[in-house]
Structure 1
């Protein structure tokens, strides 16, 4: 097997992973694609990743050659100026900037597929290596769906998501308040399961959350401390104040208040155990509800049930807890 990129090209072999021909293209003719998903080039982790590639490329091997860039970049077909736009590999492209001329020749695979296929190459490669942040993933999913027409199954596959419920959580990021979105964008946390919890917090609670995080408290602990605790339903068989009044016990004034409230409204005097509503609906009705709550109607019944419950809780957390 060929030992170097030059030998590989001379031998007529193809890339062992993709089976496609590798072409050496000068870095000056390879250019980044505008509007790609990764926009955190000033992030310390991204900078460290590029520096790591840069250092490894400059390693001298036994015969005096540079180790160089070994994993080919994916590029599109040349534009009218003869430039090749990067589909996958901008970190490698950035890593060899201002390095010796020998390292300016980059191994590339020219992808000739459709715009959608090139988009799939780009998105899948991000998921396979250094992942995007929560916010970047949410934006990427939105573009995949609206701009490139990817199906739900394609988005789940290309982003490496476990199921459609996880996809719904990423979509929920777009429904957060601007301030909550900024917390997600900042990379303060990477657990998508916290998105619904973050949605419950009002502006004052978000202020307190930021202060707690600034003092070193984890976002999980801070959210838990700021989220109002739900009242527990009374144990089965325990008497409610209303029941005690009906039996002649308890505070007479409380009994009178209960009677007055009962006359004012048919809904007064409900016990905590009566403060929840359990609904059973057919699949068509569930899909209609899913459309209203921006939940995918393509989910299987069990996944749809979980996604609907989560969406309803996010809308009215104080009144839906325990609806499962």
Structure 2
């Protein structure tokens, strides 16, 4: 049995689900793109190829192996995108929460059968129909759960708005002893660098009291300021709009001292090393074309 345990984003990782990219199927039609960045690459003819993404994901698997992490992969589904495991489920404490995601991605959870059968069924939680949530918007952080959402009345008109206030309230019910803190994020169906798809696309807490943040990803200045005050301004690495577009905040912590990052994030990786982190650099530029990066493709099950 897998003894689930996740209380934050940085404790030493013991077990994780890593997505797979070996059978994504044909390039999607433009009208079927889930986010503006994928649409951009479909239009430009630069949509990523399976073999390139497989190579990138194997580089991450090799880092996990190096650190003795148990890695699970979803079972393959022919012609189906199974890269972003973080969207479909997430763990808080000892609960495995199945997200309510876009309808045409519902097969992804079925491919996690080998993992699910090792989890105590009483620990598996499904959200009610009206509570939309994806794991990229949810960050357990000690006494807190940080949640990205969108408060606007026009929520239904955004395919890029993935977590609603019903879900925030439901999380608070599930974890009454935690402080659930929500942040309204900037959404755009059409302009990739104006769209914070998930909270981890514009913010990420790290070890050593540090955090990565993009001010313009937040719609409400006070909410952004709350985070900066929480971590301390001197501990926050502010990324530019271009760096947010390239997914600089979507790195992944193996432990409080070790971060997996994209090898082209020169400014960020230099800063991380200056702060005393070990940076494991991997190529992930092809995967980033679908508006997701390292945190999106990993679903931690057990941290120390």
TM-score of the superposition, structure 1-length normalised?
0.21
Bigger relative contact order, structure 1 or 2, given CA contacts below 8 A and separation 6+? Answer: 2
Name whichever structure is richer in helix by fraction: 1
TM-score of the superposition, structure 2-length normalised?
0.22
Structure number with bigger Rg: 1
Name whichever structure is richer in strand by fraction: 2
